[in-house]
A and B are shown apart, each in its own frame.
Chain A
Amino acid sequence: VSRGATAAAAPVKLLGVAIWLRPYLANRSLWLDGLGARPAEPA
């Protein structure tokens, strides 16, 4: 494997991990709950 291909692989892998982590990062309300309204009570 050439050095250039290895260098190119790293950002691709990073992008893959970022896409995979999307659901982990997605919940924006987690920043503000507790300071404002409490989450709804469990059904």
Chain B
Amino acid sequence: VVGVVLAQLPQHLLALVALGLIVVAPVPLGLAFAATHLGRRPAPRAEWAIVVVLSWVSLQTFLALSLGLLRRLTTGDVLAAEILLLAVGAVTLARRRDALATLPITRWRPGGAETGMLVALVAVGIWLLHRVLTTPVREYDSLAYHLPAVASWYRTGTLDMLGQGSVDYYPYDFELLAVLFVLPFRGHFAVGLAQLLAWSLFGLAIYATATRLGARSLHALLAASLALMHPIVLRLAADTLQVDLAFAAAFMVTFYVALGYASRELHWTLLALSGAWLVGTKTSGLGYLGLIVFATLIARRLGMSPTPASAAPGRRAPPAFVVGLSLLVSLTTAGFWYARNLLTVGNPLGLVGVSLFGVPIFPGPMAASELSRSSLAAVFRIGDPRDWAILLKQLAVNFGLPFALLAVAAGTLAVTPPGGAPFWRRRVGLAVVALFVACAALYAGTPFSGDDVGTYGWRVSPWIGQGLRYALPAIGVLAVAAALGLARFSRLDTALVVVATTAGLLSLPSDRVRGLLVLAAAWSWMLVRGRLPRRGRQVARWGAVAALVVLSGHWRDAKDEAYARMFPVVTYVDRHVANGEKIGLLVTNRASTFFGTRLTADVVFVPIGESDASRWVRQLRDREVRFVGVGPILEDWWLSSNEIRWLDGDHSAFERVYGTDYRAGSVLYRLRRPSAAAGASR
């Protein structure tokens, strides 16, 4: 093992450098951007972090989108663009060096309990990092369309979709970010870092929002940690490429920026950028953005100043070209997907038809009214104890102890403190609780939160459990409310940290012993660190970096091996499908596995044949399809379809070359050459 790792070390180091470049490149420009927004007044570090990360996400999405539109989303062009971004950023920063040296950033030194919470959080982060770098993505939606989009764009350098129907018309900003993490390692190794980024940002935004609304730093940290330790959140980050975590992070950042705008401290272009990210990540963003804009306008109207100490003036408008650029970036990153849908099918929402008062506004085969029947609100029967039992059990399994703790802490907001103002007089608490209720209502109205459009008989079933990820914006707001409510428990700092750490450990969706070991290691480092001489600390640090470089090379191979064991079809594609031979997919929910380990295979979806086998075969040949891939097939009606009969039957055009049972796994058929087929049929 060591020999193999060492032999690949130079190449692996290059890949790590490329990854480092992609991560670091937008940061200088982001700092300069943040300085134009926050330059004059003392701003907390969390606010700087939020603005820098927001600019990072916006710049990267814009960069990937622009290169994709030019059909040049390739490793070379992306790295060149990143170098350009880094150079421009460095020059901008250097020219403003003097101004930056005197920036009024408020310092933050974590106290004892805060350090304890941070240690637990870092331990969970390390557990997550190890997990995403070693375990292949294997969740249904991710293999069906999130990862296939990434793989297809990576392979072609374009933003072309695979032709899978309704999912072709979703917004895909998060997957664009994921492509950037695929490039350096030519495959799935680091793709999960996009999730890790979303995970960190979700926590950061909760922390920043809670402290802005007056919560103590420790309480904000506790609430943010608990939100990050929901079992469903850890599962999303660890095993999937689903967009819901990034969506929740975008929502919380938008919430934070909107608070700043309402109290006249932050410029509206920040709201435009974060709103663009919200809408570009998921179509539900339109509703959530509407909610935030509505609430912000009310707050500004009422002259509500959510920051207790916002008397300090000094918001300054950024220069006109920064405003213009922000506007361009936000319109592109949010608008591209909807504009493309409008141009290709005449409906910004793709196949979802919308009508208002019976008048069709956007035509489409899937009626929005039909989709909304699949929401939890539509299928839930309030009088039925069975529905309640399922909901409560799914809440326990997917949200668990962290949710119970957040709910209790937030609940204390409603209790009038002895001698204090009643609940309805405390504006901030009331506003946050109202926003939580609104988000919970939006969750309950989200299509697919109740039923997979009739698969479970339009009834509540345990399937709603995985749909609880749509409720993460509400969880973020609940965490903010909890941070405010924790003020009542101000004498229990240590106990709260212990309880939150335990909740985090219990919520790990796998490998809990490993989590415990990481936590113990993190604690020992914290305790030993102070006693080590300076030199010893440096040696330990560089030793850790070197170990990480070598270990990550090993993890990369281990992840490929695990991938091949999990989905053996990737090995077949790697070995037997020559570069450029096209695989036409008919029906599968694991499209990404047909791309092979290094994502090199040419994969598209092919249309079904009408009723004539030879005409279908001719269609496939006209499209230069060499293989037809199917399976796993979960729908019974597909099993008795014409195409499956033609593939399996005596029709001489197809030869089964890989796989046996398309009900459980993948099967590949080779399309014979016309002459060979004619010869065989003779």
Which residues of A line the B interface, CB within 8 A?
Answer: 17, 20-25, 30-35, 38-39, 41-43
Contact = CB atoms under 8 A, between A and B. Distances in A.
A41 B566 contact: yes
B562 interface: yes
Contacts of A32: 513
B621 interface: no
B381 interface: no
B565 A25 contact: no
A23 B510 CA distance: 15
B510 A34 contact: yes
Interface string B210-238: 00000000000000000000010000000
Given A20-B396, A41-B565, A30 B664 contact: no
A30 B512 contact: yes
B138 interface: yes
B413 interface: no
B510 A30 contact: yes
A25 B506 CA distance: 7
Contacts of B510: 30, 33-34, 39
13 contacts: A21-B396, A21-B404, A22-B396, A23-B393, A24-B506, A30-B508, A30-B510, A30-B512, A31-B512, A33-B511, A34-B510, A34-B513, A38-B562
Interface residues of B, number: 24
Q: Which of B510, B511, B664: most chain A Cβ within 10 A?
A: B510
B353 interface: no
Nearest to A17: B404
Contacts of A23: 393, 396-397
A25 B404 CA distance: 13
B603 interface: no
A25 B400 CA distance: 8
Contact of B400 (A21, A34, A42): A21
Contacts of B335: none
Contacts of B506: 24-25
A35 B397 CA distance: 23
A38 B565 CA distance: 11
B229 to A, nearest CB: 12
Contacts of A35: 511, 513-514
Interface of B: 138, 231, 392-393, 396-397, 400-401, 404, 506-514, 562, 565-567, 632, 664
Contacts of A38: 562
Contacts of A17: 404
Nearest to A19: B396
A32 B404 CA distance: 25
A24 B511 contact: no
Contacts of B231: 24
Nearest to B566: A41
A17 B408 CA distance: 11
B648 to A, nearest CB: 21
Contacts of A34: 510-511, 513-514
A39 to B, nearest CB: 7
A18 to B, nearest CB: 10
B609 to A, nearest CB: 28
Given A31-B513, A32-B513, A35-B514, A24 B396 contact: yes
A21 B511 contact: no
State the majority secondary structure of interface residues on A: loop
Contacts of B664: 43
A17 B633 CA distance: 41
B414 to A, nearest CB: 15
A20 B396 CA distance: 7
B144 to A, nearest CB: 12
Nearest to A24: B400
Contacts of B401: 21, 24
A22 B395 CA distance: 11
Given A41-B565, A43-B632, A24 B509 contact: no
A26 to B, nearest CB: 9
Given A21-B400, A24-B231, A24-B396, 16 more contacts: A17-B404, A20-B392, A21-B404, A23-B393, A23-B396, A24-B401, A24-B506, A30-B510, A32-B513, A33-B511, A34-B511, A35-B513, A35-B514, A39-B510, A41-B565, A43-B632
Nearest to B507: A24
A24 B513 contact: no
B185 to A, nearest CB: 22
A23 B393 CA distance: 7
Contacts of A39: 510
A17 B392 CA distance: 11
A27 to B, nearest CB: 9
A24 B508 CA distance: 11
A25 B510 CA distance: 12
Contacts of A21: 396, 400-401, 404
Nearest to A39: B510
Contacts of B397: 23-24
B383 to A, nearest CB: 21
Contacts of B404: 17, 20-21
A19 to B, nearest CB: 10
Q: Which of A20, A24, A32, A42: most chain B Cβ within 10 A?
A: A24
A17 to B, nearest CB: 6
Nearest to B664: A43
Contacts of B567: 41
Q: Which of B511, B562, B567: most chain A Cβ within 10 A?
A: B511
A25 B503 CA distance: 10
A38 B438 CA distance: 41
A34 B397 CA distance: 20
Nearest to B665: A43
A31 B513 CA distance: 5
A24 to B, nearest CB: 4
Contacts of B392: 20
B468 to A, nearest CB: 13
A29 to B, nearest CB: 9
Contacts of A33: 510-511
Q: Which of B138, B511, B512, B514: most chain A Cβ within 10 A?
A: B512
